Amino acid sequence: APALSGRPAGERLCSAEEASAGGGTYVRHGSIFASLAGCLQRRADGGGLPVVSVVRDAEAQLLPGVGAVVTCKVCSINSRFAKVNILYVGSTPLKSTFRGTIRREDIRATEKDKVEVYKSFRPGDIVLAKVISLGDAQSNYLLSTAENELGVVVARSEAGVQMVPISWCEMQCPQTHTKDFRKVARVQPQFLQT
């Protein structure tokens, strides 16, 4: 994940051997300097040196922080965790995709040992979750849905119809009336991204 922090113009960022100079930087005497005040971003460049650039604060990428409520889409599940793509931080859409993981033990606050991932989430579900730890090199954030307000907000049935929550652990297809298990969010309207 790109590290972001404020940098004054003219500050030495690193040696030119450690990285290549991106936007908002210049090289002098073997070092990379900030040519404008703003946020430092390091981006891995496909096996080469990381690219260091400085962006003005207004253009700086919003990053999910610990404690932030995020809206994400479930990509895949297995018995231990659900993999998700983070789409929004609060109500702000992210410019690039961040991956997250919701571990089995972080799905619910109670009876954690009885939780089953496939009875909580399915691929394609839209989930509200809270960031509990920041990403590693693969920008993989650890997320939790243990609070009542967190969990699945939008799910589609086999018939492709948006399901309706009927309890904290079940949703129903309004067309076929089939019920499916989910970790349902008690949605607070300000978080709803449709």
Provide, rounded to the nearest whole percent, the portion of the chain with pLDDT above 70.
Answer: 86
68-150 belongs to which CATH class? mainly beta
Nearest to 128 by CA among 166, 96, 155: 155
Per DSSP, the three-state class of 38 is strand
State residue 123's pLDDT score.
97
Residue-wise pLDDT for 72-99, tens only, equals 999 999 999 999 999 998 888 887 778 9
Q: For residue 178, what are the CA distances in angstroms to 18, 96, 157, 158, 159?
A: 57, 36, 8, 9, 10
State residue 177's pLDDT score.
94
Please name the CATH architecture into which domain 6-55 falls: Beta Barrel (2.40)
Query: Where exactly are the structural domains of the chain?
Result: 6-55, 68-150
State residue 6's pLDDT score.
64
What is d(CA 96, CA 165) in angstroms, rounded to the nearest whole number? 30
Residue-wise pLDDT for 22-52, tens only, equals 888 899 999 999 887 778 888 877 678 889 8
**Report field, pTM of the whole predicted structure over 0.85:** no
Residue-wise pLDDT for 91-134, tens only, equals 888 877 789 999 999 999 888 889 999 999 999 999 999 999 88
Q: For residue 20, what are the CA distances in angstroms to 15, 23, 101, 131, 137?
A: 9, 10, 31, 31, 19
What is d(CA 137, CA 119) in angstroms, rounded to the nearest whole number? 30
